[in-house]
Structure formats: structure tokens, C-alpha cells
Amino acid sequence: MGARRDLTLREKIGQLIVTGFPGPVPGEELRSLIADYGIGNVILFSHNVENAAQLKALCDGLRREIGERTGYPPLIAIDQEGGRVTRLPADATNVPGAMAIASTGRPEHAYAAGRLTARELRALGINFNLAPVLDINNNKRNPVINVRSYGDTAETVERYGLHMLRGLREEGVLASVKHFPGHGDTAVDSHLGLPAIGKTLEQLRELELKPFAAAFAQGAEAVMTAHILFPEIEPERVPATMSRTIVTELLKKELGFGGLVVSDCLEMDAIRKFYGTAEGAVGALKAGVHLLFVSHTPRLVREAVERIEQAVLGGELPMAVVDEAVEKVLYYKKKYGENGAGEAGEEEAEAGIGDSGAGSSAARLAVLSAASMGASSAASDSDSASGLAVVGCEAHRRTAEAISLESVCLVGGKLEPLAKGAGDTLFVGCSPYRADQASSGAGGAFSFPAAMGEAFGAAHRVTGIDPDEEEIRQIAEQAQGYVRVVVGLANGRDYPGQLKLLERLRADGRRVTAVALGKPYDLEGLGEDVCALAAFEYTPLALRSLARILSGETVPVGKLSLSL
């Protein structure tokens, strides 16, 4: 690690920037940003990740290079929420997402998910997780939050989100709750546009702010701001990220938050298109944000640094604001950055899980998971060659599988077990796809119809994401030879051809089972004769759980955490 020293203005600004890079290996552009602009932090996405060993070597190299150049270890950030927003490789453990976990009815599962996620992140060298999501999904048309939320009430989000937060913190990972002051009541994705919420401050206090206030009271150390207009609160036409009224007056003063305030990515269209990334960076610092994400484009990183530098030298941005932000960032770097590890309380971490009742099967699973994770941690500590024994270990995978299995909900109708090798069932549905800009990219290696066809030795057909009339006609003709059709719905409200196909099959007299592989709202109004299952996410883990439930090996025990 390089020697600690006084920082120049540009080096101070570099400590306030988080950026990313394409591919699994840092290129010359990132090295130039580190060397010439003192950029001190990185964010990782799926395109940076191949496998656990590669990811560990990548993080070790980034820590070494940034530490030697800047004198301070980097914050290495990732969006590892679970479910459809996961970045870790297949040989690590990716847990179910928020709404799936809440549907289990077991807050201890949220704690276990946070805890095992943090263990694996630390083993890989990642010290900053941009999770959990504390948005309340009270708008069914929300295109970007939806299943990333624990539910549609403040009580549900608080109950599960705070357990996830506690699990992450106790295992020594800096965790950022998001997206303050709430992204759940929007119908616009801030990656692609500029949402607005017309609520008063009192209305926010009654709903959206409650989970955040509870998290701050529990000791949350970081919070991410939302790129959303709140015209009833902020008279200037700037989003929360650039609003001093929201960041300083509401977040810091009224709610008493004294931790690290981070921006959502300033390359999202809500900022880049309407204000410009560089201007957004200056505006965010003026508002009271400490750490700025410019996650993809080196040119925009350089512009942001130079624009902040200009604002300070020209008297537009007080040096004291920059110094206060740097002091805050360096505090958390000292706590979490040196070895990718924070100050986890071992006694507290090993004491048990949540408020689970000792007599319940879920409680026994949770306690077993805690004990197993303790054993895995010891194995990891003794693995001097790589330190990766905990990553994707059997205990973690069993825990994730158990949570996933308990998350599947029977929303309507009657579930009839499917026999393997039966020739009376047809599986249909589209391939997985990237549902929004927050989701990880979807590979073509698996699909619901193919996976179920293989599991049951049954016929299957992969459809387009939004079947047109001709495709619907062809599938209806194919289905004439089958008694039942199992339809995988991947956000059918967004792609209504999926729902039209389901309705055609039902009208033709097929016995239909509908499986929601995304938003459960797809299951509204399907009729009592349709068996409706909610799985919440289109992942290999969810498909394995569905195969066990559809076969009758186990019954669905989940309960929806929102209203249909």
C-alpha cells in the first residue's frame, strides 16, 4: 500500500468517484483514470465476472493497483441484491431476490441471505454491496423495482430489508440501502427517463420514508439516492440526488443520517440526458452526496472530475464540501477497505438468527445455516491458497435452495402433480431476457420450457417474448394434442402476447398452469380454473424449485407479500 499523504484537489475528487470498466480484465483506460485522475473506487458488473477465481484475482489486482497509486484502498462495489439483480458467477451462491424471500414469510431467511452473501463477497475481495432495496413497490406499473422490493407495505419492506441489512453488516460488508427517498411509486425507469412523484413530505413520512428511518435507527452506514423529481418537496426541477432539500435537510438533518451518502449512477438517462453527467456530479456534491457513481464511460469520468475541479477553483463549490465528502469516504475505506473486511461482531454473528421460533422447521433451517456458515468460514480462513472455500460452498447452496423452495406461491387454482415421462403435458414460454437496465444480462443457456421439458421428459416450445397472432395460432394447434399446458410468464403485462397465448389455450379447453417468472401481477384475473404459481424470478435456482413443486415432490408454501 502506498504511503498516506496530503491529497491534491484532483486526488481528493478521485476519492469521490466510483467507476467501472468493460470485460474481465482492467484496460488501459481504467489504468489511466487511476494514474492521471486518482480514481479510487470501482464497481463490478456481470461483464467483469467469469468465475470465482478470476473475480478474486481481479479484486486483488484492483486493490493493489489503486492502493499503490492513491495511498488508500478502494471501495469495490457490486449490486448483489439477489434474484434478477445478481453479478456473482455460477460457481458462487446467488440468493433469491427480495420479493421471493418475503414470500417465504420468514424474516430469518432475509438475514441468512444477507449473511451468506456477505461471506462470499468478502472472500472474493468485494467490500461494498449496493443492497438491500428498501423501496415499497406500491405502483404495479413500476418497471424497474417491482420484484426487487420486499412488498407493497412499509411494514413488510422494513421487516425483511432490515434483516438482510443486519446479515450483510454482521459479516463485515458495507451495505447501502436504496433508493432514498423511495423509488417504488414510479412508472418510469430512471435508467431511461426522469420519473416524478407528486407526494408531499407528509405523505412520504407516512409510507416511503419509514423503512429508511428504521434502517438508520438500526445503524445503516450508507444510503443511495434516487434520480427522481419530488416537485412538492424540491421547488427546483432537480431530482433527489441533486436536491439539497432532500439530501441535507431531510436525510441528514431531519432523519439524522450521519453515514455515507452515495449517488445512483450519474450516467443513467435521468441525469445524463436531462442535466449532463458532469453537472449532475457537481449538483450531487452541492446537495450533500459524498460518493459519485460514474459507472461506465471513461470520458464522462474525466469530464466529471474536471467539472468538479473547475467548480471548486471558481468558488462555485466550497472546498469544505469536498473535504467533508473525502473525510467520510476515507472513514469507510479505513473500516472496510484494507482487506475487504469490516469490523464484524463475531459473538453477535454466531449468536443465532433473528426472531425465529425454535420449534419451526424454518427456524431449524436458519440455525443450521448459521452453523454451517460458521464452519464454512473456518474452512475459508484455513484455505491459504485461495481463500475461496466459502464461495459457492455446499452450506450456502443448500440455504439458497431452501429459501427458493419456500418462496414459490400457489396464487390460484389447484396444483396437479406432473408425472415424469407423461406425454399429456406441453411446456411453453419465452427465453429469459434482461427485464430492465438494473437486471443482469440474460444468457441463452437455459429457458423455462427447455428446463421443464428435460426435467419431466415432456414436450416443450420456446416462444418469442411477445407472441403475435400467428405464433399464438401455431402454438394453439400444437397444443391440441395435449391435456395440459404449463405456461411460463415473464412479465406478461409488459408483453401482452404472452397473456393472449395463455387465454387462447384456456379457451381451447387445455388445462393451464401459469407460472409467473417475474412480476406476480401477471397472475391477476386469470380465472379459478387456471393453476397460478408465482416464482418471482427467471433464474436456474427458481427453475429447480419449480420442477420439484410441479412434480409433487413438495408443495408450495409461500404467501404473497403484496396484494393482487
pLDDT at 339: 54
Pairing label, strands 531-534, 511-516: parallel
423 shares a domain with 397: no
pLDDT at 351: 26
Beta-carbon contacts of 182 under 8 Å, excluding residues fewer than 6 positions away, are 134, 135, 136, 197, 204, 207, 208, 209, 212, 226
413 shares a domain with 385: no
266 within domain boundaries:
yes
Residue 3 has pLDDT above 80, yes or no: no
424 shares a domain with 392: no
363 shares a domain with 415: no
Residue 375 has pLDDT above 90, yes or no: no
User: Range with the lowest mean pLDDT among 208-217, 317-326, 370-379?
Assistant: 370-379
Residue 382 has pLDDT above 50, yes or no: no
Residue 345 has pLDDT above 80, yes or no: no
What's the whole-number mean pLDDT along residues 211-219?
A: 98
396 shares a domain with 461: no
Higher-scoring residue by pLDDT: 18, 5: 18
pLDDT tens-digit series, residues 473-507:
999 999 999 999 999 999 999 999 999 999 999 99
Residue 386: pLDDT band (50, 70, 90) is low
Q: Which of 79, 152, 189, 264 is catalytic?
A: 264
257 within domain boundaries:
yes
**Residue 153 belongs to domain with CATH number:** 3.20.20.300
What's the whole-number mean pLDDT along residues 100-115?
A: 98
41 within domain boundaries:
yes
User: Range with the lowest mean pLDDT among 58-72, 376-390, 449-463?
Assistant: 376-390
Is the preceding omega at residue 132 within 30 degrees of 0, hence cis? Answer: yes
563 within domain boundaries:
no
540 within domain boundaries:
yes
pLDDT at 361: 41
Single pTM value for the model: 0.91
Residue 371 has pLDDT above 60, yes or no: no
346 within domain boundaries:
no
Residue 444: pLDDT band (50, 70, 90) is low
DSSP state of 291: B
Residue 225 has pLDDT above 50, yes or no: yes
User: Range with the lowest mean pLDDT among 25-34, 126-135, 185-194, 273-282?
Assistant: 185-194
187 shares a domain with 88: yes
Number of domains in the chain: 3
Residue 430 has pLDDT above 80, yes or no: yes
Residue 362 has pLDDT above 60, yes or no: no
pLDDT at 443: 62
pLDDT at 378: 41
Note down the domain range covering 146.
Answer: 9-336
Beta-carbon contacts of 336 under 8 Å, excluding residues fewer than 6 positions away, are 75, 127, 128, 172, 173, 174, 342
**Residue 448 belongs to domain with CATH number:** 3.40.50.1700
391 shares a domain with 454: no
SS3 301: helix
Among left, alpha and beta (phi > 0; psi -120 to 50; other), residue 79 is beta
Average pLDDT value over all residues in the chain: 91
DSSP per-residue codes, 331-343? HHHHHHTSSS---
Residue 564 has pLDDT above 80, yes or no: yes
pLDDT at 413: 96
Q: Residue ranges of the alpha helices (H) in 493-559?
A: 497-507, 540-550
pLDDT at 554: 96
Q: Which of 163, 191, 396, 460 is catalytic?
A: 191
pLDDT tens-digit series, residues 302-311:
999 999 999 9
Note if 264 is an active site residue: yes
367 shares a domain with 312: no
Residue 336 has pLDDT above 50, yes or no: yes
Percent pLDDT > 70 in the chain is 90
249 shares a domain with 155: yes
367 shares a domain with 293: no
pLDDT at 429: 98
458 shares a domain with 381: no
437 within domain boundaries:
yes
Note if 191 is an active site residue: yes
471 shares a domain with 414: yes
pLDDT tens-digit series, residues 158-175:
999 999 999 999 999 999
What's the whole-number mean pLDDT along residues 61-83?
A: 97
For the sheet with 222-225, list strands across it: 260-262, 222-225, 174-180, 128-129, 75-78, 41-44, 17-19, 292-293
Indicate the residue among 286, 306, 336 that finishes a domain: 336
User: Distance from CA of residue 63 to its chain's centroid?
Assistant: 24
2 within domain boundaries:
no
Residue 373 has pLDDT above 80, yes or no: no
